[in-house]
């Protein structure tokens, strides 16, 4: 009885997830001019490519797409590198009170992002970082560090300290120990952390609409919100086609690196 209920619960969750996805795909296929205002439950004419072209070119999703790709790749990689160095310092280096340093860094995941918006907006306006790629990349990298630090630090604590002690006896510096021993052994954890941070930066809307205003700088999620207003005459099919475009990178990243992701998550959960 318990197993049946569990299977029914899982099946219900799957249906709840698949129905909106199905409606999104079916209605993205609908020609923009033929949309009646009611959602279609069965596919009709195939106009997905035309709707995607309208969203990509005329609605400037393409420029924002490339912006988000730059932000997600560069900021995700930078955050993982900084987080790995911080984890190495907390776990391996003889720092005083390593637990206090851990909680200081990890506390960045505790506070809601909304409390940072007002001071960040004022600071960026004074420092001429508002509506700049550099400004957005700085906040994305800093925002992504704490959670990546948490994941990498958890895996690093499972590594045998004898490897570090042996390297130190051989005269290796902490820099060489980090790059030659810990980084190769942490590949799966670093990969999982990068996938998490890539997805987080890619899906960000809050900072994108608060700290930018021009299409040349805006991330793709911020551009997608303006698509509904600027191209309301085109109808929901164009907006839904834009949503499909936006969802592709994270899906591809996960499918391509799912093995690395699962190994990394398993390693950090030990």
106-160 pLDDT tens trace: 988 888 888 888 899 999 999 999 999 999 999 999 999 999 999 999 889 888 8
CA distance 242 to 63: 13
Question: Alpha carbon of 64 to those of 213, 219, 220, 221, 253: distances in Å?
Answer: 12, 5, 4, 8, 18
Quick check: is 17 in a domain?
no
Residue 79 pLDDT:
95
pLDDT at 230: 58
Q: What CATH number does the domain containing 255 carry? A: 1.10.3720.10
**Is the residue at 1 inside a domain?**
no
Residue 230 included in any domain: yes
Question: Are the C-beta atoms of 101 and 87 separated by less than 8 Å?
Answer: no
Burial 98-111 (b: 16+ CB within 10 A, else e): eeeebeebbeeeee
- Specify if 37 maps to a domain: no
Q: What is the pTM of this model?
A: 0.85
Q: What is the mean pLDDT of the chain?
A: 85
Does residue 42 sit within a domain? Answer: no
* Residue 3 covered by a domain: no
pLDDT single digits (tens) 151-210: 999 889 888 888 888 888 888 899 999 999 899 988 888 998 999 999 999 999 999 999
Candidates 201, 234, 219; CA nearest to 59 is 234
Range of the domain at 236: 60-268
Within a domain: residue 104? Answer: yes
Tally of domains in the chain = 1
The candidate with the shortest Cα–Cα distance to 199, out of 47, 68, 62, 59, is: 68
Cα–chain center distance at 179: 25
Q: Which range is most confident: 15-24, 209-218, 231-240?
A: 209-218
Radius of gyration over every alpha carbon of the chain, rounded to an integer in angstroms: 23
Domain presence at residue 35: no
Q: What is the rounded CA–CA span in Å between residue 146 and residue 178?
A: 19
């Amino acid at each position: 009885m318990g197993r049946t209920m569990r299977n029914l619960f899982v099946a219900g969750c799957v249906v709840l997830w698949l129905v909106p996805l199905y409606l999104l795909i079916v209605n993205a296929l609908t020609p923009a001019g033929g949309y009646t205002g009611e959602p279609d439950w069965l596919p009709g004419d195939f106009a997905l490519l035309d709707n995607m072209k309208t969203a990509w070119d005329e609605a400037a999703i393409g420029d924002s797409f490339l912006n988000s790709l730059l932000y997600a790749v560069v900021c995700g990689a930078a955050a993982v590198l900084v987080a790995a160095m911080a984890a190495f310092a907390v776990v391996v280096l003889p720092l005083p009170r390593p637990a206090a340093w851990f909680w200081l860094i990890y506390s960045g995941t505790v506070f809601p992002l909304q409390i940072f918006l007002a001071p960040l907006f004022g600071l960026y306006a004074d420092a001429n970082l508002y509506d700049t790629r550099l400004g957005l990349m700085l906040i994305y990298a800093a925002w992504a560090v704490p959670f990546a630090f948490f994941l990498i630090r958890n895996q690093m604590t499972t590594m045998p300290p004898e490897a570090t002690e042996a390297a130190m006896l051989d005269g290796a510096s902490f820099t060489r120990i980090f790059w030659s021993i810990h980084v190769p052994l942490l590949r799966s954890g670093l990969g999982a952390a990068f996938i998490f941070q890539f997805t987080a930066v890619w899906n960000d809307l809050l900072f994108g609409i608060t700290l930018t205003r021009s299409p040349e700088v805006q991330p793709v999620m911020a551009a997608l919100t303006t698509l509904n207003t600027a191209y309301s005459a085109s109808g929901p099919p164009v907006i839904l086609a834009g949503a499909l475009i936006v969802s592709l990178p994270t899906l591809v990243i996960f499918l391509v690196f799912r093995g690395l992701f699962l190994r990394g998550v398993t390693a950090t959960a030990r």
